[in-house]
Amino acid sequence: MNKEKILVIDDNEIVLQSCKRILESKNYSVTLCSSATEGIKTIEDHKFSLIIIDIVMPYCDGIKLSGKIQSNYPDSKILLISGYMEPKPFSEIIIEKKTNFIAKPFTPDELLKAVKSAIIRDPESTG
Amino acid sequence: MNHNIRFYLIASLLGMTVMVGGISLFFGTYLINKTVTREAKNKIQFDLNAALEIYSNVEKQINSGLSLTARDQGWEDCINDKDTYKMEQKLANLIQILDLDFSGFVKNNYTTLCRQSGNKPENPDTMINPVALLALETKSPISGTFVLSHDEIKAEDPKLAESIKITVVNTPEEESKELSEVTSCMVIASAVPIYENNLFLGVIYGGVILNHSIKIVDKVRKTVFQNEQYQGENIGTVTIFLKDLRISTNVLTKAGNRAVGTKISKEVGIKVLTEGESWIDRAFVVNNWNITAYKPIKDYHGDIAGILSVGVNESKYAEFKRNTLLVFIAITVAGIIIAVLLGYILSKLVLNPVYELIKISKKVSEGDLYPVIGKISKGEMGNLQKTFIEMVVSLREQNIHQKEESEKRLIISQKQASVGRLAAGVAHEINNPLTGVLTFTHMLLQRDDLDSEMKSDLETIAKATDRVKEIVKGLLNFSRQIKLKPELSNINKIIEETITLIENQALVKRVFLCFDPGSDIQQRTLDRSQFQSVIMNIIINAIDATNPGGNITISTRCNLKTQNGKHREIEIIIADNGCGISPDQLDKMFDPFFTTKEVGKGTGLGLSVSLGIIEHHGGTISVKSQIGKGSTFVIHLPLDKQNE
């Protein structure tokens, strides 16, 4: 089976470890980055099926980061996560950029479901 | 407006004075004119009567003089002796006493035996004096005014006949006419019969010539007018006319000669000569206007022979009238001056407290709610001052109330924002570890090698974690409820409203707020209340940092931001010229709980919360400051996508 490669960018170690544990249990290949700069470097060298990004991070927030990634790699698929439960202040951006979102805290099932649908989702054809 | 009250006061006083002065001037002049004219007419009539009396006295004098001479003894001897020398002496005596111009004796056989001139008639039978002839025929005394022909005078004395000629001065209308000469003569004459021993002997006669005579007219002037002079000229004049011609007068021509030979004015001539009536009125005499009286002189036969007239130069009365007028004008002018002065003093008295109040009102409007009112006047002005004080007091109370209200509102808004920010921060922080707990609990639960006790414990953890998740969700929902009420808003309008809310607070400190709204500011969705609390927070900080007399300038404008493509943003600049912020404080300004104010005066959450609110609207706050020169806060708010 061809392993789907997933990159997780979050400044919180517990969240990173949680994601790794859940996704690896379903045979995804998981790479972890604790900052936006590290994430961008990793994307340059590897191709990922999905990039999970935390919205609230120091220096460069998730919205900005996903904007950058999408402008450089238009094919890339992104799943945003945030502790603000609902991405109300950012909803406009998320809807406009057709980005997926899941609120923290999430159960393993919730994350897997969101990851699956994000990978399947074709950014050009779905709204 | 102040100027107007003073103006109206003075103007109305002035108007009154001018009106009263004008009316009294008008009626006074009218009355004086009327009275003076009436008095002048009365006087001139009186003068005329006096003149007539003098005129008839001349006649009486001649008559009585002749009568006395007629009674002398010796007339018969003279006639019988044909002693003309003695007769002539008697006549010469008579002439000297009576100042006669001619005289003579006619015998009862109609022969003139003797003439004053000594001129013996060549044909004594035909050349008898007409006055003497009348006496001869009636054998009784005759006296009166007579008009004698040139020949009749020539018969008396050829030299005399030459002197009575009068050259007529033509009136301007008759200028083209040839000069004419009047040779007839007006005389006052008398003839008295002489009886001796009841025998009628003849008559003696005598008379004075009026042509060119100055005796009577000057005597009348001397008696009636007492030679009163005005500006070097005699005021009163007397004239005797033969028909319409001046034959004896002291009216002078422009050249200074007696105006003998000039004519009477036409209308007076018609009235007096044709209708035989008196004239008492103004009349033009030779070259100026006089108050005059004319009366016809009838000759012995009862025909109108001429006129006796007196006149007074009008300029005497004119001067009196002018003087009176001047007095009236002087009184009016004095009244005007007094009215202006009075108006000025009155207006000053009335308006000074008003000016004072206006000055104080200005202070109050500039925010000084504790003005010094000074002495309270009596009456209405005092009431006004008292009411004004009451107004200021209630304004003060209202101001305090308003200030409290706006502060309360700000505190509530800040509290809400603080709670929201705190809740959001807490939720975010808790959600991260919660993700770990949930993940690992569920991962453990998926294992097959768990005994039932472990499984039930893990399920309890999962449930409890779910519960925590719900609590945090609730907390976030709560904060979100208060946090955002976004609506399409006009930023300039919100800033204006905010300034209105704290304007009084600024004025009390004598800090001036100035708003310069940009014209191209588009509407943007934002939370009005939160945004207002940010603006208010920054302005209040600025007021606190600014000394009295300082300025706070708030301005808005629209910028085109080129970074990351084209974005438009609204820039709100709040600049003060206050004390400024030191660089080390500048770094900590937006930290929560940072404050420069005394304990209890500020919460310290203000700027941190403000930053949070602006950031939630996608904007930024920056600050620049220089110690002693002031601080400038700049808020950047990106415009909504839909607005671009």
Closest CA to A7 of A41, A43, A31: A31
C-alpha torsion B455→B459→B462→B468, nearest 10 = -140
Q: Read off the pLDDT band of A55 (50, 70, 90).
A: confident
Residue A70: what pLDDT?
A: 84
Residue B643: what pLDDT?
A: 45
Would you state the structure tokens that stand for residue B205, as one six-digit string? 């006669």
Cα angle B612, B616, B620; round to 5 = 70
Backbone phi, then psi, for B52, in 5-degree steps?
-60, -40
Q: Please answer yes or no on whether A106 and B438 come within 8 Å at the CB atom.
A: yes
Q: Give the DSSP H or E segment for B188.
A: strand B185-196
Share of chain B above pLDDT 90, in %: 23
Q: Please answer yes or no on whether A106 and B476 come within 8 Å at the CB atom.
A: no
SS3 for B235?
coil
* Among candidates A17, A56, A111 on the partner chain, residue whose Cβ is nearest the Cβ of B436: A17
Q: Please answer yes or no on whether A105 and B473 come within 8 Å at the CB atom.
A: no
- Inter-axis angle of helices B491-508 and B528-545, to 10 degrees? 30
User: Minimum mean pLDDT among A43-47, B379-383, B640-644: which range?
Assistant: B640-644
- Residue A124 pLDDT > 50, yes or no? no
Using a CB-CB cut-off of 8 Å, the residues of chain B touching A105 are 431, 434-435, 437-438, 465, 469
- Residue B633 pLDDT > 90, yes or no? yes
Burial profile B619-634: b = 16 or more Cβ within 10 angstroms, e = fewer: bebeeebeeeebbbbe
Q: Are strands B279-285 and B288-298 parallel, antiparallel or unpaired?
A: antiparallel
- Residue B629 pLDDT > 60, yes or no? yes
How far, CA to CA in Å, does B188 sit from each of B56, B273, B280?
Answer: 9, 19, 25
Print the SS3 string covering B617-642.
CCCEEEEEEECCCEEEEEEEEECCHH
Q: Are B112 and B104 within 8 A, CB to CB?
A: yes
Q: Please answer yes or no on whether B435 and A84 come within 8 Å at the CB atom.
A: no
Distance CA B140, CA B131 (A): 11
- Residue B499 pLDDT > 90, yes or no? no
Min distance B404 CA to chain A CA atoms (Å): 33
Question: What number is the average pLDDT over the span B270-281?
Answer: 90
- Look up tokens 């420069």; give the residue: B596
Q: Please answer yes or no on whether B439 and A25 come within 8 Å at the CB atom.
A: no
Residue B598: what pLDDT?
A: 55
Average pLDDT, chain B: 83
Q: Which of A104, A106, A109, A112 to mutate to test the interface with B (most CBs of B within 10 A)?
A: A104
Using a CB-CB cut-off of 8 Å, the residues of chain A touching B437 are 105
Q: Are B611 and B421 within 8 A, CB to CB?
A: no
Min distance A11 CA to chain B CA atoms (Å): 10
- Residue B10 pLDDT > 60, yes or no? yes
Residue A127: what pLDDT?
A: 36
B243: left (phi over 0), alpha (psi -120 to 50) or beta: left
- Residue B594 pLDDT > 70, yes or no? no
Would you state the structure tokens that stand for residue B622, as one six-digit string? 């920056």
Using a CB-CB cut-off of 8 Å, the residues of chain B touching A111 are 439
Using a CB-CB cut-off of 8 Å, the residues of chain A touching B563 are none
- Amino acid A40 reads I
Distance CA B471, CA B423 (A): 11
Q: Are A87 and A94 within 8 A, CB to CB?
A: yes
Question: What number is the average pLDDT over the span A51-57?
Answer: 86
Task: Judge whether A89 is closer than 8 Å to chain B, CB to CB.
Answer: yes
Using a CB-CB cut-off of 8 Å, the residues of chain A touching B428 are 56, 82-84
Q: Read off the pLDDT band of B396 (50, 70, 90).
A: confident
Q: Are strands B102-107 and B199-209 parallel, antiparallel or unpaired?
A: antiparallel
* Among candidates A14, A56, A86 on the partner chain, residue whose Cβ is nearest the Cβ of B436: A14
Burial profile B406-431: b = 16 or more Cβ within 10 angstroms, e = fewer: beeebeebbebbbbbbbbbeebbebb
Q: Are B637 and B524 within 8 A, CB to CB?
A: yes
pLDDT digits (tens, 9 = 90+) for B312-349: 988 878 888 888 888 888 988 998 899 889 888 888 88
Q: Please answer yes or no on whether B428 and A89 come within 8 Å at the CB atom.
A: no
- Residue B167 pLDDT > 50, yes or no? yes
Distance CA B423, CA B427 (A): 6
- Look up tokens 């008095």; give the residue: B39
Residue B57: what pLDDT?
A: 93
Q: Please answer yes or no on whether A83 and B431 come within 8 Å at the CB atom.
A: yes
- Amino acid B428 reads H
Q: Are B272 and B293 within 8 A, CB to CB?
A: no
Distance CA B433, CA B469 (A): 11
Q: Give the DSSP H or E segment for B343.
A: helix B314-365
Q: Read off the pLDDT band of B600 (50, 70, 90).
A: very low
Q: Please answer yes or no on whether B438 and A105 come within 8 Å at the CB atom.
A: yes
Which residues does B388 contact at the CB level (< 8 Å), separation at least 6?
B357, B360, B361, B373
Q: Please answer yes or no on whether B616 and A107 come within 8 Å at the CB atom.
A: no
Distance CA B182, CA B164 (A): 9
pLDDT digits (tens, 9 = 90+) for B78-112: 887 777 778 888 888 888 888 899 888 888 888 88
Give the global pTM.
0.51
User: Minimum mean pLDDT among B449-453, B566-570, B638-642: which range?
Assistant: B638-642
Which residues are B623's β-sheet partners? B633
The CA radius of gyration of chain A, in Å to the nearest whole number, is 13
Which residues does B575 contact at the CB level (< 8 Å), separation at least 6?
B552, B553, B554, B555, B630, B631, B632, B633
